[in-house]
């Protein structure tokens, strides 16, 4: 038996890697933050979705090692720590500390660090992470509300987060002889950052990395792994008919473009943080009444509730960013859950942290991966609080085409 155990540091990342593994031919289960992996016997990979990207280091380490233990109990014998393709982290973690803890737990001496995701424009060259044609530090990630990324040099970002040596392997070695690449990966213990600028680089890295080395990175590398017995990629899901809702807590550039495109095409409501801060419950009631009017008038049309439409919104509140972000996540989680009570069966959630809050509020424990909407974004089916099944798409901040809030529904058909 060979079961790949993946630990994802946020929920959008979990569906991102789940989709990549399904495409690579793995039968894959995505479980939400809980330790029992019920379907392990019938799958080739299990992804445990955590919400540890921005939690305190100790909490992230505890949750990740608990997930690791559950995966071992389920029979996993190879491990993958999935973090963001833009290496989202703070000065203290959590990429370095979680990698260290997983190395301690597995007994492996080496971890490869491979955030590249070429299909979404994330590439690593000379140890520097690019987003499209810009260095990470010149991309919109520089202004992320929770994990601003102001340095594209991955060695410099990672070194303060880990107690182990950090080194890197350049593109010439990645593109050279496989044996030499394997030797370069394993020659000394530590965390090894690898250059990769297209999928064939990732395929070479996947092929050259021995099974005992801890895999870490974005979903791009996962798409190049090969299961023992490759299966056909997942087919279409059976969508549940019902109302459609988009909740967006993401402040990322791509989401802002999607919000702006959607405002011309569907009823859209911008969260009023001051009103939420002063009278949370009454404001949620008002938003649900507003949505109900639109659903009643046009049952198939989606409605959008969003936190940030422009970069200026990030500065516009009287509260601190942390308070604003907590308020937004709480509000969108409540709106999604009240929406499901009101008949929403097709739901898009934009933002990784936001997805964590919404999925937890809905009591979802497992996601069944379905059709792709865009690279890294998929529909999944999930049971809400042991009640209705809904189709849900967890959209990472910077993924998806500009019109996806109005076109994603077509992929469910
Ligand atoms: N206008 C705003 N002011 C403060 N925080 C915000 C604002 N808009 C969004 N946020 C917060 O920023 C975070 C965005 O993170 P996330 O949901 O992961 O989105 P992304 O996938 O774009 O990174 C969330 O915690 C959200 O509540
Ligand atoms: O690897 C990626 O880029 C995504 O899977 C991801 O983790 C994105 O995070 P959010 O932008 O916070 O959704």
- Dist CA 301 CA 276 (whole Å): 26
Is 400's C-beta closer than 6 angstroms to any atom of ligand 2?
no
Q: How much distance in Å is there from the Cα of 172 to the middle of ligand 2?
A: 28
- Among 54, 378, 396, residue to substitute to test ligand 2 (most atoms within 8 Å of Cβ): 396
Q: Whose CA is nearest to atom 5 of ligand 2?
A: 13
pLDDT score for 116: 98
- Dist CA 164 CA 189 (whole Å): 8
- Among 86, 141, 307, residue to substitute to test ligand 1 (most atoms within 8 Å of Cβ): 307
Same fold for the pair 3-222 and 243-412 = no
pLDDT score for 234: 60
Is 16's C-beta closer than 6 angstroms to any atom of ligand 2?
yes
Give pTM, 2 decimals: 0.91
Q: Whose CA is nearest to atom 2 of ligand 1?
A: 314
- Dist CA 72 CA 292 (whole Å): 46
Which atom from ligand 1 is nearest to the alpha carbon of 53?
A: 18
Provide the terminal-to-terminal Cα distance of the chain, rounded to the nearest Å: 35
pLDDT score for 139: 94
Sheet of strand 128-131: strand arrangement: 122-125, 128-131, 134-135
State the ligand closest to the CA atom of 86.
2
Write phi, then psi, for 56 (nearest 5 degrees): -55, 150
Is 396's C-beta closer than 6 angstroms to any atom of ligand 2?
yes
pLDDT score for 85: 97
Q: Whose CA is nearest to atom 3 of ligand 2?
A: 85
pLDDT score for 39: 63
Is 9's C-beta closer than 6 angstroms to any atom of ligand 2?
no
Is 352's C-beta closer than 6 angstroms to any atom of ligand 2?
yes
What is 243-412's CATH topology? Molybdenum Cofactor Biosythetic Enzyme; Chain A (3.40.980)
- Dist CA 392 CA 368 (whole Å): 10
Q: How much distance in Å is there from the Cα of 71 to the middle of ligand 2?
A: 22
Task: Report which of 69, 88, 89 is spatially closest to residue 79, judged by C-alpha positions.
Answer: 69
pLDDT score for 86: 96
Buried b or exposed e, range 342-375, using 16+ CB within 10 angstroms: eebbbbbbbbbbbbbbbbbbbebbbbbbbbbbbb
Q: How much distance in Å is there from the Cα of 249 to the middle of ligand 1?
A: 5
pLDDT score for 250: 94
Q: Whose CA is nearest to atom 27 of ligand 1?
A: 325
Pocket of ligand 1 (CB under 6 A): 144-146, 249-252, 255, 307-308, 313-314, 317, 321, 324-325, 328-329, 351-354, 396-397
Neighbours of 237 (CB within 10 A): 18
Domain boundaries, the chain: 3-222, 243-412
Q: How much distance in Å is there from the Cα of 62 to the middle of ligand 2?
A: 21
pLDDT score for 382: 93
Q: How much distance in Å is there from the Cα of 88 to the middle of ligand 2?
A: 8
- Among 325, 335, 336, 361, residue to substitute to test ligand 1 (most atoms within 8 Å of Cβ): 325
The owner of tokens 């289960």 is 29
- Dist CA 302 CA 243 (whole Å): 7
- Contact in structure between 395 and 349 (CB atoms under 8 Å): yes
Per-residue pLDDT tens digits of the chain, which is 413 residues long: 689 999 999 999 999 999 999 999 998 889 997 656 666 677 899 999 999 999 999 999 999 999 999 999 999 999 999 999 999 999 889 999 999 999 999 999 999 999 999 999 999 999 999 999 999 999 989 988 889 999 999 999 999 999 999 999 999 999 999 999 999 999 999 999 999 999 999 999 999 999 999 999 999 999 999 887 777 766 667 888 999 999 999 998 899 999 999 998 999 999 999 999 999 999 999 999 999 999 999 988 999 999 998 877 777 665 677 889 999 999 999 999 999 999 999 999 999 989 999 999 999 999 988 889 999 999 999 999 878 999 999 999 989 999 999 999 999 87
Task: Report which of 41, 52, 44 is spatially closest to residue 234, judged by C-alpha positions.
Answer: 44
Residues forming beta bridges with residue 112, ordered by sequence position: 192, 215
The class that CATH gives domain 3-222 is alpha beta
């Amino acid at each position: 038996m060979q079961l790949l155990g993946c630990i994802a540091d946020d929920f959008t990342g979990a569906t991102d890697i789940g989709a990549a593994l399904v495409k690579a031919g793995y039968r894959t289960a995505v479980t939400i933050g809980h330790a029992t992996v019920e379907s392990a016997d019938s799958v080739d990979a299990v992804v445990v979705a955590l919400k540890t990207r921005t939690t305190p280091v100790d909490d992230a380490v505890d949750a990740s090692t608990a997930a690791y233990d559950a995966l071992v109990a389920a029979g996993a014998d190879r491990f993958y720590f999935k973090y963001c393709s833009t290496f989202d982290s703070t000065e203290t973690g959590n990429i370095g500390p979680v990698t260290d803890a997983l190395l301690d737990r597995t007994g492996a001496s080496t971890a490869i660090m491979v955030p590249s995701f070429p299909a979404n424009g994330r590439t690593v060259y000379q140890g520097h992470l690019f987003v499209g044609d810009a260095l990470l530090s010149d991309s919109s990630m520089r202004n992320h509300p929770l994990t601003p990324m102001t340095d594209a040099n991955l060695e410099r970002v990672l070194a303060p987060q880990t107690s182990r040596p950090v080194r890197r392997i350049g593109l010439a070695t990645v593109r050279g002889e496989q044996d030499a690449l394997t030797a370069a990966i394993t020659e000394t213990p530590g965390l090894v950052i690898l250059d990769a600028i297209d999928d064939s680089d990732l395929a070479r890295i996947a092929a050259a990395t021995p099974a005992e080395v801890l895999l870490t990175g974005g979903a791009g590398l996962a798409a190049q792994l090969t299961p023992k017995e490759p299966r056909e990629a997942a087919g279409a899901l059976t969508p549940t008919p019902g109302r459609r809702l988009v909740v967006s807590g993401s402040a990322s550039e791509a989401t802002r473009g999607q919000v702006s495109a959607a405002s011309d095409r569907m009823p859209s409501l911008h969260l009023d943080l001051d009103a939420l801060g002063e009278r949370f419950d009454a404001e949620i009631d008002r938003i649900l009444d507003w949505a109900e009017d639109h659903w009643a008038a046009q049952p198939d049309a989606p409605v959008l509730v969003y936190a940030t439409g422009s970069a200026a919104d990030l500065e516009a509140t009287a509260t601190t960013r942390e308070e604003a972000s907590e308020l937004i996540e709480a509000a969108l989680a409540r709106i999604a859950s009240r929406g499901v009570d009101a008949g929403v069966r097709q739901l898009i959630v934009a933002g990784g942290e936001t997805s964590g809050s919404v999925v937890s509020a809905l009591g979802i424990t497992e996601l069944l991966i379905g059709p792709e909407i865009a690279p890294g974004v998929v529909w999944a089916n999930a049971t809400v609080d042991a009640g209705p099944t809904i189709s849900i798409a967890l959209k990472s901040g910077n993924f998806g085409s500009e019109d996806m809030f109005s076109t994603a529904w077509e992929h469910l058909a």
